[in-house]
Structure 1
Amino acid sequence: MTVSPFKSTLVALAALACATATTAQEQVVKIGHSGPLSGPNTFAGRDNDNGVRLAVEELNARKINVGGKTLKFEVVSEDDQCDAKTGVAVAQKFIDTGVRYVMGPYCSGVAIPASREYDRGGAMVSTVGTNPKITEAGYKNLFRIVASDVQAGASMAAYAANELKAKKVAVVDDRTAFGQGLADEFAKEAQKLGMTVVGREFTNDKATDFMAILTNIKARQPDAIFYGGYAPQAAPMARQIKQLGINAKLLGGDTLCSPEMGKLGGDAVNGVVYCVYAGMLMDGDAGARAFQEKFKKRYGQGPDVYGPFYYDQVMNIGQAMEKSGSTDPAKVGAYMYQNTYRGVMGDYAYDPKGNRVKAPVVVMTFEDGKPKPLASY
């Protein structure tokens, strides 16, 4: 049967009208992710990105309706390389392209300058940057979705004093905003608890050779060495501690709790590395275990350190949009400040500065190259 050109035109117009009507009933909400998608912290950036994408998939399946339109969430991910200048450029790009919800930055040294740009552009920022300075600037719609350095550093110091019975500690940091901030808080609390800081050394976040620093530390015979920095440096440091025969535990923040430590450090991390993880004991919670299984099914591997937090916060934002009846970051943020969200990693409630209230903290060590929880605070 031959179809006339007139009928073909009518069919095409009808299809176009239908598609236009469908589009008119949708509202696109862009969720930006700024993190290290290249370089030594790529493993963390990819994990965070996976957490964001898993939440977006679930929110889209829910078909949330706001103002008569179905929200369609889209992920826009950019590599900030854990570099301040690059991170600011990413922030400017997001603002210029209409991204008003940003997950990240991962590194405190990026979050501090980039947050100014996001505030100017009216965007909401949800970061895992732990340096206290991030939330001291007074930006309205900035949320820290994990514990800060103050809480993490104090918890690690308390564990070192009370459980490891450490009397003398050496402190090393990588001079990044994250590493230095965390090390400062640990040293401050360690002294309050009666421990003696026998040395303070510095390195950088690109180093892999710590023999000179560790040789100096060895002569002071500390019970523990606290390292403020990231896993790609902490793992070789653990190997060199073993090589030099230093009888001290290596302590650090949540970046050291990554399974990457076991991959990079081998058996040198087992029973030697102790880290404080801004989270909760996932294996003891049915909901958290179910999330781990879902994550692994989706990506072929379990979540690393921050993926679950990114997932939770995106889900929190989606619920806040639905409950507030708006996609305006100011109104969504106001709802989030006033209400608590129950996620995989506990309750998300925020103080007026955007710090998470009563963020859970877990101290972990390593066994057979894998993180093993010891105590929660």
Structure 2
Amino acid sequence: MRLGIGLIAFACTLAAAGAQAQQVVKIGHVGPVSGPNAHLGKDNENAARMAIDELNARGFTLNGQKVKLQLLAEDDGSDPKQGTAVAQKLVDARVNGIVGHLNSGTTVPASKIYHDAGLVQISPATTATQYTKQKFPGAFRVVANDAKLGGTLGRYAVETLKAKNIAIIDDRTTYGQGVAQEFAKGVKGPGVRVVAKEFTTATATDYTAILTKIRGAKPDLVFFGGMDSVAGPMLKQMKTLGITAKFMGGDGICTEALGRLAGDAVGENKVVCAEAGGVKGAQEGVMADFRTRFKQKTGAEVQLYAPYVYDSVMVMAAAMQNAKSADPARYLPELKRIKYEGVTGTIQFDPSGDIQNGALTLFTYKGGKRSRIDVIR
């Protein structure tokens, strides 16, 4: 009798262990938590953890069964080679979905690995048009792409800032080149000339040579395709060289950190940038509440993409619940037709996986701080 009871107890223990294993849903997050973009990558990872923690606290269920969501976070260091390595690591860990990456240069090569594994990927920050042009059915993004962002900035430079002589610099990354090319397409108009095209790298620290060339072309506006870690020092060197042109860039430079990185060289209304995404009207209260909760949770201010990471996790979880399954093959159709009201607004995807009616926010800097100009769609 005792032996029978022992066997029954052992069987129950095994069954419980098996049930417990089935109740874990793994969501991978990838961003650069080392290297020059670590402040943005950490911002993203913090938001992913916040979303996971909130979902677990609410009692996340699938098909009426309570499950535990687990975040598997990896660092790609903004490096494509490292990005594909950690992508394969997450595939091997049998994650149920991916939120990431941050940089277009790591997202695009990693997306092929996720696609081949049949995984769903939602990028909260990638703007390169190439990402969704690959037509991978499981690739989505929750921000507007470079075609919209760069083109909008180009038109703003000509129509609003009245720029005539424009210099363009990019950092040779997938993102930097892409947004610079789209910007160039938008700077058409009578008397408008691109007087210089130069490039640097994402890790360079001295831009004197290219800036000296640009100074000779006498631009009234300089556009930079790249990240804030380069834009800040570049602005300082422009000031040293006496270049007084307006400075413009995409979401990569459009951070709270730019004022600190550039110091007084950020000027007053000198820099104009656009962030993919943005809210206004009633949605501003929702975003303000998120920022407060994020600060309480992490002890840090939102840097840039945190709200979009948070919404990416939430919309993936919502699709799983609609499908009553964490199997990517089953929740992918739900994601394609989802309409989700998030912190960043309404999230719906077009057939390519791009956000529908994506917003852009134009900013300048005053007193070293970002100051919103407008939100446009």
CA distance in 1, matches of 2:225, 2:190: 19
Question: Would you say the 8 A contact 1:225–1:251 is kept in 2?
Answer: yes
The reply on whether 1:32 has 2:23 as its aligned counterpart is: no
Question: Would you say the 8 A contact 1:170–1:224 is kept in 2?
Answer: yes
CA distance in 1, matches of 2:261, 2:64: 51
Q: 1:373 and 1:281, CA in 2 relative to 1: closer, same or farther beyond 3 A?
A: farther
1:80-229 equivalent positions in 2, closer than 5 A: 80-127=76-123, 128-191=125-188, 195-229=192-226
Q: 1:206 and 1:25, CA in 2 relative to 1: closer, same or farther beyond 3 A?
A: closer
Shift of 1:26: 6.0
> What letter matches 1:345 in structure 2?
T
Question: Would you say the 8 A contact 2:63–2:321 is kept in 1?
Answer: no
1:23-102 equivalent positions in 2, closer than 5 A: 23-24=19-20, 27-102=23-98
CA RMSD across the alignment: 2.2
CA distance in 2, matches of 1:20, 1:73: 18
Structure 2 counterpart SS, 1:34: strand
The reply on whether 1:320 has 2:319 as its aligned counterpart is: yes
CA distance in 2, matches of 1:23, 1:233: 50
Q: 1:193 and 1:113, CA in 2 relative to 1: closer, same or farther beyond 3 A?
A: farther
CA distance in 2, matches of 1:70, 1:321: 13
Question: Would you say the 8 A contact 1:141–1:330 is kept in 2?
Answer: no
> What letter matches 1:347 in structure 2?
T
The reply on whether 1:266 has 2:263 as its aligned counterpart is: yes
The 4+ residue runs of structure 1 with deviation greater than 2 A are 16-26, 191-195, 281-284
CA distance in 1, matches of 2:74, 2:107: 14
Per-residue CA deviations over 1:219-241 (Å, capped at 9, x if unaligned) read 11111100000111000111111
Question: Would you say the 8 A contact 1:39–1:81 is kept in 2?
Answer: yes
Question: Would you say the 8 A contact 2:279–2:345 is kept in 1?
Answer: no
> What letter matches 1:276 in structure 2?
A
Question: Would you say the 8 A contact 1:91–1:117 is kept in 2?
Answer: yes
Question: Corresponding residue for 1:346?
Answer: 345
CA distance in 2, matches of 1:142, 1:62: 28
Question: Corresponding residue for 2:231?
Answer: 234
Structure 2 counterpart SS, 1:60: helix
> What letter matches 2:345 in structure 1?
G
Identity of aligned residues (%): 40
CA distance in 1, matches of 2:191, 2:301: 39
CA distance in 1, matches of 2:204, 2:363: 24
Question: Corresponding residue for 1:277?
Answer: 275
Shift of 1:192: 5.6
CA distance in 2, matches of 1:22, 1:58: 25
Q: 1:30 and 1:289, CA in 2 relative to 1: closer, same or farther beyond 3 A?
A: same
CA distance in 1, matches of 2:77, 2:111: 16
Q: 1:18 and 1:98, CA in 2 relative to 1: closer, same or farther beyond 3 A?
A: closer
Shift of 1:169: 0.7
CA distance in 2, matches of 1:79, 1:282: 33
CA distance in 2, matches of 1:161, 1:115: 35
Per-residue CA deviations over 1:86-145 (Å, capped at 9, x if unaligned) read 111111111111013111111111111111110011111111211111111110110011
Question: Would you say the 8 A contact 2:158–2:189 is kept in 1?
Answer: no
Question: Corresponding residue for 1:3?
Answer: none
CA distance in 1, matches of 2:237, 2:176: 20
Question: Corresponding residue for 2:360?
Answer: 361
CA distance in 2, matches of 1:18, 1:62: 28
Q: 1:342 and 1:194, CA in 2 relative to 1: closer, same or farther beyond 3 A?
A: farther
Question: Corresponding residue for 2:373?
Answer: 374
> What letter matches 1:102 in structure 2?
I
Question: Would you say the 8 A contact 2:96–2:326 is kept in 1?
Answer: no
CA distance in 2, matches of 1:218, 1:176: 24
Shift of 1:188: 0.9
CA distance in 2, matches of 1:193, 1:184: 20
Shift of 1:25: 9.0
Unmatched 5+ residue regions in structure 2?
A: none
CA distance in 1, matches of 2:236, 2:15: 60
Question: Would you say the 8 A contact 2:31–2:102 is kept in 1?
Answer: yes
Unmatched 5+ residue regions in structure 1?
A: 1-5
Structure 1 counterpart SS, 2:252: helix
> What letter matches 1:126 in structure 2?
I
> What letter matches 1:95 in structure 2?
V
CA distance in 1, matches of 2:309, 2:328: 17
CA distance in 1, matches of 2:238, 2:362: 21
TM-score, scaled relative to structure 1: 0.92
Q: Which shows bigger deviation, 277-286 or 316-325?
A: 277-286
Shift of 1:189: 1.0
Structure 2 counterpart SS, 1:126: strand
Question: Would you say the 8 A contact 1:25–1:70 is kept in 2?
Answer: no
CA distance in 1, matches of 2:21, 2:103: 38
> What letter matches 1:275 in structure 2?
C
Question: Would you say the 8 A contact 1:26–1:70 is kept in 2?
Answer: no
Q: 1:194 and 1:340, CA in 2 relative to 1: closer, same or farther beyond 3 A?
A: farther
